[in-house]
Amino acid sequence: MNALLMRYSHLGLPLFRIAASLMMMSHGYTKFKELIFGEKIEFYNFMGMGPEISLFLAIIGEWIAPMLIIVGFKTRYAAFLSAFTMGVAAFVVHGADPFGEKELALFYFLSFCMIMLTGPGAFSIDDSRTSSK
């Protein structure tokens, strides 16, 4: 059994990176539709940039960056963008809210921090085992 687990241990990071990113993308796609098809944008005004720009930046962190993470391209940079977006959501937007309101944002924040620190793992464009040295 131990040999079987060791044989497939390289699948953990790609599975986690793809699952977390796919789940995040559902939030980003909703925001993308709001930006493209919505009439009036009501979104958090991050650092006084305006709700439209703030929404656009959230779309990058919740939809574009997770696409890059899924394929494993510039994974650490993309994970930083997603982690930053979720950090703002958890600690700024929902900072005063009860834990239950920011729990999902905290989970995504920690997930993308882990991906940023560990890298993409196997089966990625960034995989160091397949790049030439």
DSSP string, 41-98: -----GGGS-HHHHHHHHHIIIIIHHHHHHHTSSHHHHHHHHHHHHHHIIIIITTTS-
pLDDT at 130 over 60: no
**Which one, of 33, 29, 28, lies nearest residue 89 by Cα?**
28
Mean pLDDT of 39-56: 86
More confident site: 127 or 104: 104
Three-state DSSP class for residue 126:
coil
Torsion-angle region of 81 (φ positive above 0: left; ψ -120 to 50: alpha; else: beta) = alpha
- In whole numbers, what is the pLDDT of the chain averaged over residues? 88
- The count of residues in the chain is 133
**Predicted structure pTM score:** 0.87
Confidence tier at 88 by pLDDT (50, 70, 90)? very high
**pLDDT score for 132:** 47
Percent of the chain with pLDDT over 90: 59
- Per mean pLDDT, which of 1-5, 98-102, 122-126 is the most reliable? 98-102
**pLDDT score for 115:** 95
Mean pLDDT of 110-129: 87
